[in-house]
Chain A
Amino acid sequence: MTRKALEHSLTCINFDMIINHPLLGPRDSEEFVYLGSADLINRPNWESETAIEDFHEYQYIRENVAGDNVELWYHEQGDQSWLVVTRSTLTHEIKSVELASDYAKNNGRSR
């Protein structure tokens, strides 16, 4: 059994959550792939003097949030959009869902 197949079978055992996709409506989280904190959107500037330190933070340092966590989910079995989901890690309550591209633009990402 490949690792991927095993992962896939395990996600199917899980009874998942419902993510209210901004374009497609409520979808079972089984359709999604989870990545992690939406901080990954804030990729540092490669030309900064502190680039190595900045990228080190960006790549390896994560808050372990007890409460609202802003995180990235990918609708792989759907429209392939990346979503920014605000989810409480304590209750799994999902407080907002938006397209990652909108979120990224609002946070200053462009090209």
Chain B
Amino acid sequence: MIQINRTNNGLIDQTKELSFTFNGELLKGYEGDTLSSALLANNKRLVGRSFKYHRPRGIFTAGSEEPNAIMEIGLGAYQDPNTRATVTKLYDGLVANSQNHRGPLWFDFMAITDMLSPLLGAGFYYKTFMWPKAFWEKIYEPAIRNSAGLGKLSKQEDPDTYDKGFRHCDILIIGAGASGLSAALVAGSSGAEVILADEDFLMGGRLNSETDEIDGIAGHEWAKNSVEKLKSMGNVRLMPNTTVFGAYDHGIYGAIEERSHESRANKEKPRQVNWRIYTKRTILCTGATERAIAFGNNDRPGIMLAGAVRTYLNRYAVRTGENISIYTNNDDGWRTARDLNDRGVNVVAIIDSRKTEPVINIEGVRVIINADVVNTKGRRALSSIKLSNGATIKTDTLAVSGGWNPNLHLTCHHRGVPRYSDDICSFVPGESVPDGMSVAGSANGTMVLSKAIEEGHNEGTEAARGLGYRVDYTEYAVTPQVEYNISAHWSVESGSNRAWVDLQNDVTAKDIKLANQEGFKSVEHVKRYTTLGMATDQGKTANVLAIGVMSENLGRTIEDTGTTIFRPPYSPVAIGAFAGRRRAKEFYPTRYSPSHKWADEKNAVFVEVGMWYRAQWFPEPGETFWRDSVDREVKQTRSSVGVCDVTTLGKIDIKGSDVSEFLNLIYANAFAKVPIGKTRYGLMLREDGMVMDDGTTARLSENHFVMTTTTANAVNVYRHMQFCHQCLWPDLDVHMISVTEQYAQYAVAGPNSRRLLQKIVDHEFDISNEAFPFMGASEITVCGGTPARLFRISFSGELAYEIAVQTRYGDSLMRAIMEAGNEFDVVAYGTEALGVMRIEKGHAAGPELNGQTSAYDLGMGGMISGKKDFIGYTLGLREDLQRDDRMQMVGFKPVNEQDLIQAGSHLVNLENEPTTENDQGWISSCIYSPILEHYIGLGFIKSGQNRKGDIVRAVNLLKGSDVKVEIVSPHFVDPEGERLRV
């Protein structure tokens, strides 16, 4: 396999051959190539089809601005669409495929759309597919989606890994070209912590593409030496392959480090690293991007930017054609002719649109001054061009230069607006750039190399000095001064031939003209109407050209036409890079209770509750259906004793001399006088009077309280309490800390719970009913001296306790309880049985505390203390919250006891149809009660508390159920609470 376009030298290693495939064809390239340089070396000129018209397209640029050469890289799940070949470092085994064509690339069946182009101009969606309306979803949209578009997703989970990283520095220099290196050398010499980031794998920027001499040596040599020098400085960190994609607040920058070439060889390695860089100063040295000129059929393979032709020649040792012509409106285009000529590549003609003297004299090259290219020919690649003077020139490559646009994107990320400069016929950074940022070199519009180096040096000096570093290094590199002259020239009258402005989104000068004629005068509107600059390249080669074309159409100056600004990211960033390692199981932390291992040994089925894993039920051998286990757990608990891990409840330790007063302010019920050794149920409201959470708080000693919250609200309640203390009552002597993870806690419930615990609790502690009555709280020891806390509280409605030990004893305690409980046939129960028992008992929980229910709605209005200020008191008094016809919580049971009630059912009166207008309420929680042997539910219904005995319909249209239910008290089991007190 011969790389027929490869020449000698270049900044690649021609001794290291790499193999890759393009559309299945095995090709060779060299270490140091990009995919695009290797494709060109192999004379692959046609590399893709365009977005809308399926026009043949070739490589257009040599950098991150590439609109055409975007490909699917990789196989299977690794396939990554829309990858720019120009920034894809070649590696051995790389698999690339062109996108958006049906049939082979050279004969795309969809190319017929190009003939339909008169129908497909700006706004064609809006105009063409309006009628009939119903056709849009079923016919038009699928057809359009099928024909237009870019690469395809693998539709498999992304198998790559991504990392996130954080770096800090004094000075961040973005771009390692001439000015960036110059800035880094001086900033580094001052001792400041410097990060130098560049999107390319080879630092040096345009110096690697050009033949300039700096300090008497080749520019790329100088760049290499400078990089070596910077590497030897301990205070400078080089980040090649790293695109700084966004400027955020307070000196935070986002950067993506590309490591695909590495991760393909070793799948353990991250494909990309998303860096967050914290810096005090930033020097933007991002260089400039060349733009084209809009002329007829300017999109054929073989037509490329003049600077890119030099890059392929000088850096990659690739000639982009055999007979090359240049079309330019500025001096820079001439350098392409000179470099090609020096390397023995045939230059056919230089066409300069200006009335100018030849910028460089090159022998044997036809020079055509004051002329334009008006049309081109060649089906799958360029074969000839037609000039405004009527001449036709046979040529296989046309190198176009319409001037250079500063890469000022990051200066706009805080809404800075660029300013138009007549000197370079492009936009330069405006007055307002992000705090701490300065701009140097061609990014700042300084197109002359010698000045760019000086500017980089000066900005580097100033940044270091501004941070208090001493700068002694005053010499900067010298290079011959080469002028850069340009005349604005945007588009060429091309008759009926289309002149492309945005190659990736297939937007032509005609589309812009049409938009302007239809009344779209603002750049922002034209952009959205034509989709200009909205493709994955974000119009890097198109935007400024389009503004030029617009200003010509509207007869306005560029200043008056204005410009769009930019927001992050500078170039596409994979979503995976934002997720980093936070995927699947690692999306958020997993919290296990201390006795998780025990539960696992008992074959517990776990359920995720927030971040916690909780045992849902414990299947025994022979139990095939979850309810077999749950019914057994409930029955055994209610008949003897059961144990449930309640570690996940929020636990807050509160100390201080004013805790009573504080609790009285944050709980709706009275809390001023909780005796030592007692627990009290507490109802917490939001300031708007709605129920926020409930739990218990025990007073262990004069100034020491322990609170529990629900599992779900643990974080919010603690945050709320800190707010109440620090912001509302800062002088109260209250100190609190969350101890959720410091204590393991178990509910021991059932008529035998005391007898079981008496075997665990050390004998000096009397826990008889007399000594330790309902709602008692005490610090005790268990199992021979292990400190513990015991609370006589019950969620199940049975005689019950909760016992807490320090986390490290949790597993042992669980095992000890289960062993001690053997003689009582103790059962471990999970969250399902817990839920069954709380519904049987009529306790409100998450489904009832939905943020829309007041204490009155829950039947707890009587608890509200009327004699004190507390959070939620005043707004809770609002008339509307106390109306009798609000949705009030009650119990429900089926009239026919065989019927199943579905949670989520809506309630309507018997005579009514189930419609929104007739809605009376809903069932919020529903279970099968193994004690009552039928379904029961909790729910809300209008005026519920006065409707006991009424029969209504519970309708669930989603599940197709419609049953008659009776409104009953929510307390199904032991309504008088006798079991709690025995």
Contacts and interface: CB of A to CB of B under 8 A. Distances in A.
Interface in A70-85: 72, 74, 76, 80-82
A58 B877 CA distance: 15
A46 B878 CA distance: 13
Nearest to B661: A111
Contact of A43 (B588, B688, B728): B728
Given A52-B878, A59-B875, A109-B730, A17 B719 contact: no
B578 interface: yes
Contact of B250 (A12, A17, A100): A17
A18 B610 contact: no
Interface string A49-82: 0011011101100000000000010101000111
Contact of A92 (B249, B588, B688, B875): B249
B874 A55 contact: yes
Interface in B559-596: 578-579, 582, 587-588
A49 B23 CA distance: 81
B662 to A, nearest CB: 9
A80 B610 contact: no
A41 B725 CA distance: 11
A17 B251 CA distance: 9
A105 B254 CA distance: 39
Given A2-B610, A16-B248, A41-B728, A82 B723 contact: yes
Interface string A73-111: 010100011100000000111100001110011000111
B135 interface: no
B414 interface: yes
B263 interface: no
Nearest to A18: B250
B726 A52 contact: no
A95 to B, nearest CB: 12
Contact of B723 (A15, A52, A74, A92): A74
A16 B278 CA distance: 11
A76 B878 CA distance: 33
B687 A105 contact: no
A23 interface: no
Nearest to B687: A59
A82 to B, nearest CB: 4
Contact of A15 (B248, B661, B715, B873): B248
Contact of B722 (A16, A44, A80, A104): A80
Given A16-B249, A74-B719, A52 B877 contact: yes
A16 B249 CA distance: 7
Contacts of B874: 44, 46, 51-52, 54-55
B588 A5 contact: yes
Contacts of B723: 35, 40, 72, 74, 82
Nearest to A60: B688
B793 to A, nearest CB: 27
Nearest to A20: B250
A58 B727 CA distance: 14
A40 to B, nearest CB: 7
A9 B588 contact: yes
Nearest to B658: A111
Interface majority SS (helix, strand, loop, mixed), chain A: mixed
Interface string B721-735: 011001111111000
A47 B869 CA distance: 8
Given A15-B248, A74-B722, A104 B254 contact: no
A3 to B, nearest CB: 11
A72 B720 CA distance: 12
A82 B726 CA distance: 7
B729 A82 contact: no
Contacts, number: 104
B514 to A, nearest CB: 37
Interface in A1-53: 1-2, 4-5, 8-9, 12-13, 15-18, 33, 35, 40-41, 43-44, 46-47, 51-52
B246 interface: yes
Contacts of B588: 5, 8-9
A49 to B, nearest CB: 12
Interface residues of B, number: 39
Contacts of A56: 875
B89 to A, nearest CB: 26
A100 B726 contact: yes
A110 B730 contact: yes
Contact of A72 (B252, B254, B687, B727): B727
Contact of A9 (B587, B687, B688, B731): B587
B276 interface: yes
Nearest to B248: A15
Contact of B582 (A12, A51, A52): A12
A102 B913 CA distance: 59
Given A16-B249, A104-B727, A111 B875 contact: no
Nearest to B164: A12
Nearest to A76: B719
A82 B722 contact: yes
Nearest to B716: A4
B246 A81 contact: no
Interface in B733-786: none
Interface string B249-270: 1111010000000000000000
A111 B875 CA distance: 21
A110 B582 CA distance: 43
A72 B732 CA distance: 20
A77 to B, nearest CB: 11
Contacts of A92: 249-250
A107 B235 CA distance: 47
B613 to A, nearest CB: 14
A29 B728 CA distance: 23
Contacts of A52: 874-875, 877-878
A37 B435 CA distance: 26
Contacts of B254: 15
Contacts of A58: 687
Contacts of B875: 52, 55-56, 59
B727 A109 contact: yes
Nearest to B414: A91
B578 A4 contact: no
Contacts of B610: 2, 4
Interface string B677-688: 000000000011
Interface in B263-293: 276, 278
B480 to A, nearest CB: 42
Contacts of B246: 15
A17 B726 CA distance: 23
Contact of B252 (A15, A94, A110): A15
Nearest to B873: A46
Given A13-B578, A55-B875, A104-B730, 10 more contacts: A15-B252, A15-B276, A16-B249, A18-B251, A35-B723, A52-B878, A59-B688, A76-B719, A82-B726, A101-B727
Interface of A: 1-2, 4-5, 8-9, 12-13, 15-18, 33, 35, 40-41, 43-44, 46-47, 51-52, 54-56, 58-59, 72, 74, 76, 80-82, 91-94, 99-101, 104-105, 109-111
Interface of B: 246, 248-252, 254, 276, 278, 414, 435, 578-579, 582, 587-588, 610-611, 658, 661, 687-688, 715, 719, 722-723, 726-732, 869, 873-875, 877-878
8 contacts: A15-B249, A17-B249, A18-B252, A40-B723, A43-B728, A52-B874, A109-B728, A110-B730
Those 4 A-B pairs whose CB atoms lie nearest each other, nearest first: A15-B248, A46-B869, A18-B250, A101-B730
